[in-house]
Structure 1
Amino acid sequence: MLAAMSTPPPRSSSQATAVTRDRGDACPGALRLHTADDGALARVRVPGGVLGVRQAEALAEASRRLGDGDLHLTSRGNVQLRGLAEGCGGELARSLDAAGLLPSAGHERVRNIVASPLSGLDGLGLRDVRPWLSALDTALCASGTARGLSGRFLFALDDGRGDVAALDADVTVRAAEDGGALLSLGTAAESLSVPGEDAARAALTAAETFLEAAREGGARVWRVTELPFQDGLPGRVRDRLAAVGVDSVSRPRTECGTSPAGAEGGPPPGTVGDALSVHAPFGRLTPLQWRELTALAAATPCRELRLTPWRGVVVPVPDLTEEQAADALARLSVTGLVTDPASPWLRVGACIGRPGCAKSLADVRADAAGSLAATGGAGLPLYWSGCERRCGHPRGERIDVVAVESGGYQLSRTTPGRSPRTAPMADTSRLAAVLGEITA
């Protein structure tokens, strides 16, 4: 989980960069594995991050039998299995299908949906978005057109608190105070107000309209922001919704509300409403950590875990007393999971680095962990990258720590709309000093 930060104003389409891809989408999935230096990698989509106990157990067993044993969380609340043995794809697919994790083989890479993890659990959202989540996933898997979406296309279902609305999704649906929903596409200047009961249908219609517009324009793109004419999409979506009897009202994006202070950044560790929240350093969950979380979920009426886009896990525990919750958090803390909202781990992230990635120039996770004590004075999230690609880096203001070929790192203070402030760091022991130079 990254430190909370304010949400920058939406970019206009004039600030978006038009892109035409010269190759197909190679984003990995559960059926299309990616070859890495530490073995094959499978990315299992988990819409809304919601896993039943049986599904969580199936993922752990698949990783134990076929991979490195760990579960790796992504910035979209999905799960990656790493270190998979060659030729295990068929066995993995059968295991996932039996657990209900592959409802549609043709859609498995496009089920990218993030949802407010605490929705319905802490009383802060305007509505519980779980019905939206179920309806959108079902509709997505039933749409032949939606199979054309890239594995990078993202839906966000926000319960009104502004957490996942800040994640730069392609299609964002946010609960409104009047009981309706606000639909936004990329950074288009216009949003649509739709009835709450039609939110899922409107989200899918928006995605299908994006594909249609991209084909007509001859653009081979993966994300809404890559279209040079994205400001015209809301009007097209409104027309398509009207054709199927869904009323919508156009609204300027600036009138659609702002996030409450501190809403972005995800649930803090600890007891939050009727839930327990933990953070997994670097998004890596060991077999012991996963087993403890699954056992906790299995002992509750909900019997589920919610994976967050900030590499954390929320377990709904509506029936736990304060004392029981404290005991459960203590057990989870012993395993190495972060349960303290003041932990410096909440502002540190990293790509896989060496030895898992051939392109990485450093073991960034070891360097980040060894420098953890020096991160406190930064005041911003730090993201360590093994090369200039900066895979998995967060959005918004941050400190990028990028390995360079000459050895050491280059630090950059990245602030949207401003030129970055940079400084070299030959030795990680100088992290605190270099952070002082670029944040002063």
Structure 2
Amino acid sequence: MLAAMPTPSVHSSPQATAVSRGRGDACPGTLRLHMADDGALARVRVPGGVLTVRQAEALADAARRLGDGDLHLTSRGNVQLRGLREQCGAELAEMLDAAGLLPSHGHERVRNIVASPLSGLDGRGLRDVRGWLSELDAALCASEPARELSGRFLFALDDGRGDMAELGADVTVRAVADHGALLVLGAADAGLHVSADEAPRAALLAAETFLTVARERGAKVWRVSELPVPYQELTETVRRSLNAVGIAAAPRTPDGTAGEPGPPPGIAAGALCVHVPLGRLTPLQWQELRHAAAEELRLTPWRGVVVPVPGGDPEAAVDTLARLGATGLVTDPASPWLRVGACIGRPGCAKSHADVRADAERNLAAAGGARLPLYWSGCERRCGHPRGDRIDVVAAPGGGYELCAVTDGRRPRVALAEDPSDLATALAAITS
């Protein structure tokens, strides 16, 4: 049984409402674990999603020895270890430190950097951002003010193809055609043009300026979008801060070039790309990915993995992709799994009203025919939901699900499915 009804539109505009955080940032890390129903949880920051094979092995070893054995990918290309046993924090930190995954204990939660995962591999970007990534991470870990950033503050490095545009980063640096870079704060309509060589330093200084402005305004905020300052004013303040330290920065409006989504599953020039259903990597899948990698793996913000294979044999690439697909990784760009996401749900979360991952898998065929991607949530918090147009599938306290089509910030219709088997009919009711 289901019912559909209109609901009032919900409009959102950048920095329309000031936010004040009444408590400290409790975002988990490697040194600050979060207690969940399935044990402790650690979130390991992986700047740019780049892992050496040795680091990948260290994560697998930690998951096997201390946790549930699986690796859980996040929407920022980071890794979560779940089901960790009590009092394992010191051992976990020692294991990850030895692998180079904890370059600064004081900054481990703020190393949130996403980067174009195919940069330097397929020849499509304007610049290989790996240099920017290394410089920004090193500068971030050396900055005393940056320790005060929240665990949710996000940097994005775009090689010019525009794949980072929709990720909602607080500071985005995008390569532009004149060999420079455009620095944009939050969802601002305009940014600052800086030289490519100064881009990492400019990105860090922009974040430090955000902290200064927030402190001067007495604003307890975690993200640029929460700051009670118009983007234009904040951008001008950042411009003055950059100029004061000798970084030339001029206002610049983006050229309007449309961005592109993350890499689809399959073979790209110089890389193999796979998608991880619901972001959960089994030990076998992780092992096969490590075996396929020559030197490194790149985790993507779309819960995928890119395996660089420069100069590889095309036939060998096809065989390797087939082996990865045999483990349950998605190698078909038409797979409905690319249109489905979910929070952890039961039994991992006490607040969840349902085992949303099991229900999402049972209803995979319905998701493939939906007009919009689906995101399953165990409760109204909708933890981890993506940005952009989607259908929220939210477990109801009394059973069943509420479906809500979110388009351009509006929620025009809601359908109630009393049983997961009603999903296809509910989808038709809200998207017709």
- Asked if Structure 1 and Structure 2 have the same fold, meaning a TM-score greater than 0.5 normalized by the shorter chain, the answer is yes
**Separation in structure 1 between the aligned mates of residue 230 and residue 386 of structure 2, nearest angstrom:** 23
- Structure 2 equivalent of residue 371 of structure 1: 363
State whether structure 2 residue 344 is matched by structure 1 residue 352: yes
Tell whether the 8 Å contact from 2:219 to 2:228 is kept in structure 1 after alignment.
no
State whether structure 2 residue 306 is matched by structure 1 residue 314: yes
- Structure 2 equivalent of residue 199 of structure 1: 199
- Structure 1 equivalent of residue 66 of structure 2: 66
State whether structure 2 residue 285 is matched by structure 1 residue 289: yes
Q: Please state whether the residue corresponding to 1:395 is helix, strand or coil.
A: coil
**Separation in structure 2 between the aligned mates of residue 419 and residue 199 of structure 1, nearest angstrom:** 38
- Structure 2 equivalent of residue 237 of structure 1: 238
1:220 Cα deviation from its structure 2 partner: 0.4
- Structure 2 equivalent of residue 387 of structure 1: 379
Tell whether the 8 Å contact from 1:377 to 1:436 is kept in structure 2 after alignment.
no
- Structure 2 equivalent of residue 278 of structure 1: 274
Matching of residues 202-217 of structure 1 within 5 Å? 202-217=202-217
**Separation in structure 2 between the aligned mates of residue 64 and residue 417 of structure 1, nearest angstrom:** 41
Tell whether the 8 Å contact from 1:377 to 1:435 is kept in structure 2 after alignment.
no
Q: Report the more deviating stretch, 161-170 or 65-74.
A: 161-170
Counterpart of 1:338 in structure 2: which amino acid? V
1:234 Cα deviation from its structure 2 partner: 1.1
- Structure 2 equivalent of residue 119 of structure 1: 119
- Structure 2 equivalent of residue 251 of structure 1: 252
**Separation in structure 2 between the aligned mates of residue 164 and residue 189 of structure 1, nearest angstrom:** 15
Tell whether the 8 Å contact from 2:135 to 2:200 is kept in structure 1 after alignment.
yes
1:27-50 deviation per Cα after TM superposition (whole angstroms, max 9, x unaligned): 000000000000000000000000
Counterpart of 2:282 in structure 1: which amino acid? T
**Separation in structure 2 between the aligned mates of residue 348 and residue 428 of structure 1, nearest angstrom:** 15
1:240-293 deviation per Cα after TM superposition (whole angstroms, max 9, x unaligned): 1111111111124xx442324xx12x1100101100000110100000000010
Counterpart of 2:312 in structure 1: which amino acid? L
- Structure 2 equivalent of residue 336 of structure 1: 328
**Separation in structure 1 between the aligned mates of residue 104 and residue 409 of structure 2, nearest angstrom:** 41
Counterpart of 1:258 in structure 2: which amino acid? T
- Structure 1 equivalent of residue 188 of structure 2: 188
Tell whether the 8 Å contact from 2:335 to 2:368 is kept in structure 1 after alignment.
no
- Structure 1 equivalent of residue 7 of structure 2: none
Please list every run of 5 or more consecutive structure 2 residues that lacks an aligned counterpart in the other structure: 1-11
**Separation in structure 2 between the aligned mates of residue 159 and residue 242 of structure 1, nearest angstrom:** 24
State whether structure 2 residue 134 is matched by structure 1 residue 138: no
State whether structure 2 residue 54 is matched by structure 1 residue 54: yes
- Structure 2 equivalent of residue 4 of structure 1: none
Tell whether the 8 Å contact from 1:39 to 1:82 is kept in structure 2 after alignment.
yes
Please list every run of 5 or more consecutive structure 1 residues that lacks an aligned counterpart in the other structure: 1-10
Tell whether the 8 Å contact from 1:12 to 1:189 is kept in structure 2 after alignment.
no
Change (3 A) 1:16 1:187: farther
Q: Please state whether the residue corresponding to 1:165 is helix, strand or coil.
A: coil
**Separation in structure 1 between the aligned mates of residue 27 and residue 413 of structure 2, nearest angstrom:** 32
1:430 Cα deviation from its structure 2 partner: 1.6
Tell whether the 8 Å contact from 2:404 to 2:411 is kept in structure 1 after alignment.
no
State whether structure 2 residue 391 is matched by structure 1 residue 399: yes
1:135-188 deviation per Cα after TM superposition (whole angstroms, max 9, x unaligned): 000000000000000000000001111111210100000110111101011123
1:12 Cα deviation from its structure 2 partner: 5.8
Percent of residue pairs identical = 72
Runs of 4+ in 1 over 6 A off after TM superposition: none
Tell whether the 8 Å contact from 1:163 to 1:259 is kept in structure 2 after alignment.
no
1:285-332 deviation per Cα after TM superposition (whole angstroms, max 9, x unaligned): 0000000101111xx2xx000000000000000132111011001111
- Structure 2 equivalent of residue 7 of structure 1: none
Q: TM-score, normalised by structure 1?
A: 0.94
Q: TM-score, normalised by structure 2?
A: 0.96
1:376 Cα deviation from its structure 2 partner: 1.9
Tell whether the 8 Å contact from 1:157 to 1:165 is kept in structure 2 after alignment.
no
1:417 Cα deviation from its structure 2 partner: 3.8
Q: CA RMSD in A?
A: 1.1
- Structure 2 equivalent of residue 81 of structure 1: 81
1:356-395 deviation per Cα after TM superposition (whole angstroms, max 9, x unaligned): 0000000000000000011122121100000000000000
**Separation in structure 2 between the aligned mates of residue 64 and residue 348 of structure 1, nearest angstrom:** 27
Q: Report the more deviating stretch, 275-284 or 237-246.
A: 237-246
Tell whether the 8 Å contact from 1:12 to 1:188 is kept in structure 2 after alignment.
no
